[in-house]
Amino acid sequence: MQAPGKILIIGAGPCGLGAARELSMRGYRNWKLVERSHRAGGLAASVTDPQGFTWDHGGHVVFSHFGEFDRLLEEIMGEEVYRHDRSSYIRFSDRWVPYPFQNNLRYLPEEVAYDCVLGLIDAPGGDPSTDFATWMEAVFGTGITKHFMRPYNFKVWATPPERMQSYWIGERVSVLDYKRALRSLVFQEDDIAWGPNNTFVFPAVGGTGEIYRRLAERLAEYITYERDVVEIRVEDKIVRYADGADEDYDTLISTMPLDLLLHKLQPCPQEVRNAAAKLEHNGVYMVGVGYELELKDDKSWMYFPQDDAPFYRATNFAKYSPANVPESDTSTYSAYMTETSYSSYKPTSRSGLPEEVEAGLRAAGVVEGRPEVASLHLEDIPYAYPVPTLERDRALATAQGWLMDSGILSRGRFGSWKYEIGNMDHAVKMGVDAAAWALEQRPEELWTL
């Protein structure tokens, strides 16, 4: 077996920290983690604004598919979490439809419900090798596609569905047949328990980022912040930082976005650079609106397929934890965390957006009247969703194949560029597996080429 030598991890998000924790637990000491920003957490970090509201980088719910993530959470947070049952809704014209939309057609205006069921009856069934636009119409029919699936997904992905694969959908979208839809409609039954995140936990203090802040604190002696990797000399196995300093490594685990990584590599074959250009992503503006308004809203989060609001989702953040509002005073404050996507297909101006979002919360019926605004906070997330385009897998095979041959593991949400394994639990698991591979070439269990 090859000796692991010095392992360098780039990025203190969930993936980098997952790798770091694994190395540390195995008693390995010849490693280092470097992070560009001044804090840990990456996309899963949280911020507290000057008015005292805490925000995540978009709605994060903590749920898990992996023992490695469950153990980490238990060890770091113990009982300092709230356990919630999901209570999520879709805003459709003047009403709230329980999530998932397609399972609860009885809440829709009659003519829309009729349209949706007719479409379902005619839908031939989907083939996951087709593009997302073709797939959604084949699975959900014309009605659900027109009223919900197409407008909602464009608001999230900021990408035409014709450019996207449908294969990624797996557990992310509830697929139903017309018999189930009819049953719910005729018997007036709710069908709301679907999905992997119907229960979730949330840190009692500090937002989602608290998990990674505490984890990073335990590994502090190995982590250097404000270390921005600007160049990687592949043959010499040396990284260069923005301040001109060099550092050598034997194995590199990178969690920065894959396209940016490929542009930092010297040398890098042209076909690999070309692959980088094929990778598409969107950006998201998180606008948090803090109100002087007693928390009475019992919903967890809400989806907005229609045009009355610029955002596609709003999270009732005071409900996740009272500590997300000033002095944990939910008798005085509410907090709504919204997400609005952007891309070249869907340009969105950030100027004026916070005010538009606040007006949207009122127009869409999330808040009633005109409560006093206590905080308007915007975070720009330029890399938010790695888009599963039709060209993605070919580009990934070219890029990742070459990186593996060069002793570089690019993992995590944007390191792997695979949305289907892009959640926090996946990122931690990819990090754990990358560390085990670096130490003993144990085959990875989640990420595949």
Ligand X SMILES: Cc1cc2nc3c(=O)[nH]c(=O)nc-3n(C[C@H](O)[C@H](O)[C@H](O)COP(=O)(O)OP(=O)(O)OC[C@H]3O[C@@H](n4cnc5c(N)ncnc54)[C@H](O)[C@@H]3O)c2cc1C
Q: Closer to ligand X by CB, 242 or 363: give it.
A: 242
Q: Closer to ligand X by CB, 185 or 287: give it.
A: 287
Q: Closer to ligand X by CB, 137 or 433: give it.
A: 433
Q: Mention every residue, 6+ apart, whose C-beta is less than 8 A from residue 118.
A: 141, 143
CB of 67 to ligand X, least distance (A): 16
Which helix (H) or strand (E) segment holds residue 152: the answer is: helix 150-157
Q: Closer to ligand X by CB, 129 or 224: give it.
A: 224
Contact (Cβ atoms closer than 8 angstroms) between residue 256 and residue 415? yes
Contact (Cβ atoms closer than 8 angstroms) between residue 82 and residue 320? yes
Contact (Cβ atoms closer than 8 angstroms) between residue 89 and residue 97? yes
CB of 58 to ligand X, least distance (A): 3
**What letter would DSSP give residue 294?**
-
Separation in Å, CA 260 to CA 69, 200, 242, 264, 417:
27, 33, 14, 7, 12
Nearest residue to 312 (alpha-carbon basis) of 349, 289, 340: 340
CB of 191 to ligand X, least distance (A): 22
Q: Closer to ligand X by CB, 22 or 115: give it.
A: 22
CB of 44 to ligand X, least distance (A): 4
CB of 27 to ligand X, least distance (A): 23
Contact (Cβ atoms closer than 8 angstroms) between residue 355 and residue 387? no
Contact (Cβ atoms closer than 8 angstroms) between residue 381 and residue 274? no
Q: Which residues bind ligand X (CB under 6 A)?
A: 10-16, 34-37, 42-44, 57-61, 227-229, 255-256, 284, 339, 381, 384, 412-415, 422-425, 427
Q: Closer to ligand X by CB, 143 or 354: give it.
A: 354
Strands 313-316 and 95-98: unpaired
Q: Closer to ligand X by CB, 197 or 328: give it.
A: 197
How many other C-beta atoms are found inside a 10 Å radius of the C-beta of residue 85? Answer: 10
CB of 417 to ligand X, least distance (A): 10
CB of 163 to ligand X, least distance (A): 20
